[in-house]
Chain A
Amino acid sequence: MAPSLLYNPAKLPPSAALQLAQQAPVVLQGSSSASETVDQWATYENLLLSCLRTGDDEAAAKCMDRLEARFGADNERVMALRGLLSEAQAQNNGELEAVLKQYDAILEGNSTNIPITKRRIALLRCMGRVSDAASALVQLLDFSPTDAEAWSELSDLYFTQGLYSQAIYALEEVLLLSPNAWNIHARLGELQYMAATTSGNGGGSQQKYLAEALKRFARSIELCDDYLRGYYGLKLVTTRLLKEQAKQAKQTDDGEFTLPDSKTIERLDELATAKLSEIVRHSTLKDRGWRGYDEREVAAARELLSQNGIER
């Protein structure tokens, strides 16, 4: 699929973003007021973002001027984009501090300006003030608890701090907002697997984490066929469970998930292995209908499979 300026460039790989940013002269040549279409302003916004990604600040500033001319400098979204631009143009830490002060001043006047609040949090995080960013996020989520983007950012923030149970809680909130998001299910499984890996004491809590991770990965596969991340995680969890089978603790029923019996785990392990090797084989051959997997993810899956082959 060719990259289009109508998609958010943050989700595109760098090469596609570069391709988009190179369209800037053509897009900016056209006059902005000739005929206003629905897609036009989305195009400018996405062009602005991809230009910033690829370091073309000049074209980005032009896009910004057009957006500002159309929507006014006091539009919340335009304000956030303007802030993003000045963050990108800042040369040193002092200038970034100035941008941060500007954000604070804006929020002083209007505390419900959510785009600016989010930019401020992102800037704080970039500047390494993670705990400030986390408390600002918690504040934002207190008055706007239905914001999935903010919850997942908070989860990521806690995760980088190693606070797994908080990260899991935040990600569960995302799932409450979009219960069928398979990538969130898989991500939650990953978090739980990591929590199980680090909770060194073993025994009960570790097993609970692993049980839920297994189920989360299974659910993500159920929602999205041939989901590479889901199968990868499932394979990791089942391998680990099979290895540790001997020292399985007594399972208690206190509202947590319980592990399935070892036969089911074995079958899940076989399924994951088979599916992973199928995906790896097909996408290496670039078969029709099997394109679109991230190459790095496929490579990781191949590595996992070869590791397992040696162990057996």
Chain B
Amino acid sequence: MAQVPVQTIHRDPQLFYWILFPITIVMILTGVLRHYASVLMQSAPKKLDQKAIREQRSLLHGINVRGNFHALSKKSFATRRDALVTAFESGAYLKDPERAGQGQPNPLSDPSSMEGMMGMMKNQMAMIIPNTLIMSWINAFFSGYVIMKLPFPLTIKFKSMLQAGVMTKDMDPRWMSSISWYFLCIFGLQSVFNFLLGSDNAASQMAQQMGGMGAAPAQMFGPGVDPDKQFKAEAENLAVIEHYSVLDDVEDRLLEGITV
């Protein structure tokens, strides 16, 4: 079997200093800048007024009663359940009781939810704008040629990842184009930012994407959710509980479990 000849491409060694380093440094600097920009743009979390807190925590209270009813005796659970079900169904805990039953409020008309969305928009913008700029900068100046050779062999599948912008069929995937270096930087600089800015920085987009996914449960009280419906549903959940207590037969369990 014939040995595949090792491809050699003679590159100007200056490529290294004039392309590889600048791209990396620009990436790091934009990351740091983005971090500080988003820290500056961050608006303080909005203070809830007393009625809003009451609405949220009363619902949480109902959920707690539903989840931990087994700690109570049947009688004390029943009194709580009756009181909560009546209050939930009549809307006693609502922020503005007269709006109950009018259906979902339009999230765009509520100024407090607009603010939340503006914050999200700002974050998105802080991510998209610099990325677009850098990418067009690299495309304009450095596209179309390879800048380095990776020191380890790779399979052919990596070609599309590492040689974006270089339309050469037979080239070894170890050769890398500048735009691919840029992509590697996006995903690989996370630990550099962690080192420079601390672990909860706003520079790395990976963290932001994960944060976007993790924020889903917080939507419970978010805009567009009708609290009246939540209360009604919770009242129903409470009403159907079949009570048992963890204290039933506890002394038998104790006598079985513990020996002196």
Contacts and interface: CB of A to CB of B under 8 A. Distances in A.
Interface of A: 110-112, 142-146, 169, 172, 175-177, 179, 212, 214-216, 218-219, 221-222, 225, 254-257, 260, 264, 267-268, 271, 274-275, 278
Interface residues of B, number: 36
Interface of B: 47-51, 53-54, 57-58, 60-61, 64-65, 68-76, 78, 245-248, 250-255, 257-258, 260
Given A145-B58, A260-B251, 13 more contacts: A110-B47, A142-B54, A143-B50, A145-B57, A146-B57, A146-B64, A175-B72, A212-B73, A216-B247, A218-B254, A219-B247, A267-B255, A268-B251
Main SS of chain B's interface residues?
Answer: helix
B251 A112 contact: no
Contacts of B246: 179, 219
A144 B251 contact: no
Main SS of chain A's interface residues?
Answer: helix
B49 A275 contact: no
B247 A175 contact: no
Given A215-B247, A219-B247, A177 B64 contact: yes
Contacts of A179: 68, 70-71, 246
B258 to A, nearest CB: 7
Contact of B258 (A177, A221, A255): A221
Contact of A222 (B47, B61, B68, B250): B250
Contact of A255 (B51, B65, B74): B74
A264 B251 contact: yes
B50 A112 contact: yes
A111 to B, nearest CB: 5
Contacts of A176: 64-65, 68-69, 71-72
Given A146-B64, A175-B68, A275 B251 contact: no
B251 A218 contact: yes
A238 B254 CA distance: 14
B221 to A, nearest CB: 13
Contact of B48 (A112, A145, A264): A112
B220 to A, nearest CB: 14
B254 A221 contact: yes
B211 to A, nearest CB: 20
Contact of B253 (A222, A256, A257, A271): A222
A51 B69 CA distance: 41
25 contacts: A111-B50, A112-B49, A112-B53, A142-B54, A144-B57, A145-B57, A146-B60, A172-B76, A175-B72, A176-B65, A176-B69, A176-B72, A177-B68, A215-B250, A218-B250, A222-B257, A256-B73, A256-B74, A257-B245, A257-B248, A260-B251, A267-B255, A268-B251, A268-B255, A271-B254
